[in-house]
Amino acid sequence: MHFISERRLDDGVLEREFTLGEVPGILWTPPASAPVPLILMGHPGGLDKMRPRLTARARHSAKDGFAAATIELPGSGERPRSAAAEQARADLQAAVRAGGPVDDEIVDRLVLPLVDKAVPEWQATLDALLALPEIGGPVGFSGGVTAIGVRLAAVEPRVAAAVLFAGSFVPRVLFEEARQVTIPLHVLLQWDDEGNDRQAALELFDAFGSKEKTLHANMGGHTGVPQFAGDAAAAFFIRHLS
Amino acid sequence: MHFISERRLDDGVLEREFTLGEVPGILWTPPASAPVPLILMGHPGGLDKMRPRLTARARHSAKDGFAAATIELPGSGERPRSAAAEQARADLQAAVRAGGPVDDEIVDRLVLPLVDKAVPEWQATLDALLALPEIGGPVGFSGGVTAIGVRLAAVEPRVAAAVLFAGSFVPRVLFEEARQVTIPLHVLLQWDDEGNDRQAALELFDAFGSKEKTLHANMGGHTGVPQFAGDAAAAFFIRHLS
């Protein structure tokens, strides 16, 4: 892990850009004298575009005493494109525009290679971050591409709790992996999100093997997660990581 | 409204039993120098049996600065039984024991007369409570028989926010009334409650006309609502009544 920039925000949070091999990322740490817990922040891909929202989330987490970090997704931002992934994305967008349901085959073709590539990158990032003296644990995962969160929660024992968006475009094979998840989960669902298959989201929630799992469904469309729902997710992490 | 007993609890909460006509009830008020908001606390019927839990809920609400009150349901506790309601209750219990779905006709026969009788009693209680100098407003309604909460939220403009359990045995006609509800709602669902029809609960949540409605689904069976879910419901009332 190489740090390539560093700046101190006005609330005392230290923001550092890094690269880990070919993968760019950002780490935010609160002013603290002892090692702090860490939240890995997912996103849909495209760090530059997502950066204002990610920075706001990280500063909120810092207030609760947590470091936060994120990395670019394979095939997004400045990272090299894959022809197969670009084709699958185009096929999915065409299916959505046509207004019909999206074939499982397209979802699998787009999402499974992404999950296969991204999850080891998040794990390598975790190796590097936990080696820093200022990062202790436990570790939470929050948001982003649901399928990545499901796989990571299933296979990475260092992730102790997760906040997931119950989104569409989760390959069916990941519903099986969801049954292997046992960590506490806080699942957000935008009830009237037209781009989301509500029934599939409820089935995914049902599939998780966790003894403690909570579904918070709210109104407001895809990007309309209300402030109080964000507060509830923060309270979930305080309960499990502090 | 006649107060028939009064005692001061060790946290300073004043607990008073009252009668309003033939209906017994209990009012808990926090130590306060100004009029406070009020939470009407629903329950499944049988005040004596429910009293420890209701008292605990009321003391929690008092810490947040709210008065709390409840009344006995028609046909429960010391109140006169109705032969028709007793027959309907026996029919429902027999259907549940037989393991099959419960006919809508039985649910309607049991619940609709209960709602028709109980809701005006809650409204009369509200008249009397809001006439007390120590009670101001706004008013919330919390829990108990779901169908009573739906009707009350639909018809009583003084109820500003409600916490409802998405339970079974809600007559279909009340799904229509749910569409008339516009106040903020916080709906609790026990996801793996065997005595509850999950699909019907989700349909009821969907039916509510409120622009702000939140569903919190948790594990743990019918009586296993986790502590953090109670805390979230309390935060909802603080947001809307304080």
pLDDT digits (tens, 9 = 90+) for A4-28: 999 999 999 999 999 999 999 999 9
Binary contact (A215, B215; C-beta < 8 A): yes
Asked whether residue A134 carries a pLDDT value surpassing 90, the answer given is: yes
Beta pairing partners, B91: none
Q: Would you list the DSSP string of A37-60? A: EEEEEE-SS-HHHHHHHHHHHHHH
Q: Where do the domains of chain A lie, and which CATH numbers do they carry? A: 2-79+116-241 (3.40.50.1820)
Would you give the DSSP letter of residue A13?
-
Chain A nearest CA to B238, separation (Å): 12
Residue A225: name the closest of A160, A140, A167 by CA: A167
pLDDT digits 0-9 by tens, A64-109: 999 999 999 999 999 999 999 999 999 999 998 898 788 999 999 9
- Pick from B104, B101, B49, B106: nearest CA to B73: B49
Inspect the interface and report whether the beta carbons of A213 and B219 lie closer than 8 Å.
yes
Q: Please give the angle made by the CA atoms of A90, A96 and A101, to the nearest 5 degrees.
A: 120
Q: What is the pLDDT at residue B195?
A: 76
ipTM value, please give it: 0.84
What does the mean pLDDT of chain A come to?
94
User: Which positions ≥6 away from A84 have C-beta within 8 Å?
Assistant: A109, A113
pTM of the model: 0.89
d(CA A184, CA A187): 10
- Is B213 within 8 Å of A202 when comparing Cβ atoms? no
Residue B175: what residue type? F
Q: What is the pLDDT of residues B20-48, one digit of tens each?
A: 999 999 999 999 889 999 999 999 999 99
On chain A, the residues whose CB falls within 8 A of the CB of B213 are: 191, 218-219
Q: What is the mean pLDDT of residues A39-62?
A: 96
How many CB atoms are located within 10 Å of the residue A125 CB? Answer: 21
Minimal Cβ distance to B214: which of A206, A216, A236:
A216
Q: How confident is the model at residue B113 (pLDDT cuts 50, 70, 90)?
A: very high
Is A32's pLDDT higher than 90?
Answer: no
Helices A227-241, A47-63: inter-axial angle, 10-degree rounding = 60
